[in-house]
Amino acid sequence: MKKIVTEKAPGAIGPYCQGVVHGDLVITSGQIPVDPKTGFVPEGIARQAEQSCQNVGAVLEAGGSDFDHVLKTTCFLASMDDFAAFNEVYGKYFVSNPARSCVAVKTLPKGVLCEIEATAEMK
């Protein structure tokens, strides 16, 4: 197993890494919408979904994969009222329509509105 480390995605805020490569799989940790350069969290679900997707993409790239090779995602929303707006942004990145779970949770780290994790195969 190899840990993924990239400055293009936010660093871990706990005892975990941004992702791992194991065999032919790239597995990301959940990516919240924190800008890795500024630490800023944008307002609104659309902008937060965009940043979370960009962060997932950065971890996938650092691990040797990309959005086209994603097999499964798990998405966490602070409110299912944001489901449609989240899907609109998500669909621009995950065009291969991987398997997905999407659930509402009580709270997310830093009070964000969404978090995305992915499992992908190597390119």
Nearest residue to 120 (alpha-carbon basis) of 75, 69, 74:
69
- CA 64 to CA 60: how far, in whole Å? 6
Please give the structure tokens belonging to residue 116: 């995305």
Annotated catalytic residue, options 53, 75, 102, 114: 102
Active site residue 102: yes
Nearest Cα residue to 119 out of 103, 98, 105: 98
- Point out the residues that are catalytic: 102
